[in-house]
Amino acid sequence: MTELIARLARAQGRARQPLAVLFTGDAEMKTYHRRYLGKSKCTDVLSFPAGEPDFPCETQRLGDLIISLPAVRRQAARLGHARARELAYLLLHGFLHLCGYDHESDELAWADAELRLGRLVNHLLPPGWQHRALGMLGEP
């Protein structure tokens, strides 16, 4: 996964901007979700771009991701694919948010970036573990 993150960062011209990834359980994720976004439910990934007022950090950093490992397991089982594939998807999803993409405010830019970077993710995953975003978008 380290190589995945490094390649995503290079592809976006952000190779010199480190990011941190925290893997957590559902209870901790629910706490973070409530504390920072005011939502009282568990989620799969949270993104905190560097410099946000509610999550201050060094400006040269890209930001921080929090990923719920139980959510990775549940979603992989529900979607019928490997956990590594689901984890790669969540890393990509969070990374796109750190880069300023927002699927709620600009669906077209999000879909374009997800497709472009999703192809890169596919090159790093074993055969048969195609990035799920590409499958949803009709990619072979």
- pTM over cut 0.85: no
Question: Residue 73: CA atoms inside 13 Å, Cβ hemisphere, count?
Answer: 7
Which pLDDT belongs to residue 127?
60
- Positive or negative, the CA dihedral 26, 32, 35, 40 is negative
List Cβ neighbours of 139 (8 Å cut-off, separation of 6 or more). Answer: 115, 118, 119, 130
Whole-angstrom distance, CA of residue 37 vs CA of residue 99? 19
Backbone angles phi, psi at 49, to 5 degrees: -60, 145
Residue-range domains of the chain with CATH? 2-134 (3.40.390.30)
pLDDT of residue 83: 86
Query: Which of 28-37, 43-52, 77-86, 90-99 ranks highest by mean pLDDT?
Result: 28-37
pLDDT of residue 140: 39
pLDDT of residue 73: 94
Element (H, E) at 35: helix 26-37
**Please, are residues 42 and 26 in contact by the beta-carbon 8 Å criterion?**
yes
Give backbone dihedrals phi and psi of 63, rounded to 5 degrees, phi first: 145, -160
Tell me the mean pLDDT in the region 53-73.
Answer: 78
User: At a CB cut-off of 8 Å and minimum separation 6, what does 102 contact?
Assistant: 110
105-128 per-position pLDDT tens digit: 777 876 777 777 677 667 666 665
